[in-house]
Amino acid sequence: MIGSSFNFTWSFSGDIRSISWGLKHSGIHTIQNNGVLVSMDKSGSLSVKVPPAYNGRVSGSGGVTSGLAIFTLSSIKKSDERFYGCVIRPNDAFDNERFDAVRLVVEGGYVKFCNS
């Protein structure tokens, strides 16, 4: 619903180096350049420069050692309707990173009443 918050949740296991969540690149399984919204490594959440449309509306919890990553998008707008991706990078250099994508569908809204 417009104006609400939504949690995107991924669970995982193994020795994980980092997790990033953001705007899925069209046609391929990766996050757009400059489209990372939240990133975490073993030290916790990393500072990333988010696109202006998402500034102050994204956060992450859980972490690479917890086996759970929760990414929150708040104050949802119709323009947030799109595909988002999650990249999980293992610590082992010989193991491939994992990618998953979800589509957020935004429904609802509000009615503005005007007096004449």
Give per-residue pLDDT as tens, 68-102.
Answer: 999 999 999 999 999 999 999 999 877 888 999 99
The span from the first CA to the last CA of the chain, in angstroms, equals 29
Q: 10 Å Cβ neighbour count for 112?
A: 5
Among the listed ranges 26-35, 54-63, 64-73, which one has the minimum average pLDDT value?
Answer: 26-35
Q: What is the extent of the structural domain holding 68?
A: 6-104
Please answer whether residues 55 and 38 qualify as being in contact, where contact means their C-beta atoms are separated by less than 8 angstroms.
no
Is position 110 within any domain? no
Mean pLDDT of all residues belonging to the chain? 88
Is position 11 within any domain? yes
Strand order in the sheet with 82-90: 44-46, 31-41, 16-24, 82-90, 98-104
Among 10, 18, 5, residue whose Cα is nearest residue 92: 18
Strand pairing of 98-104 and 82-90? Answer: antiparallel
Q: Specify the CATH number for the domain of residue 64.
A: 2.60.40.10
**Total domains in the fold of the chain:** 1
Is position 40 within any domain? yes
Q: How many helices (H) and strands (E) does the chain have?
A: 0, 8
Is position 111 within any domain? no
Is position 48 within any domain? yes
**What is the pTM assigned to this prediction?**
0.84
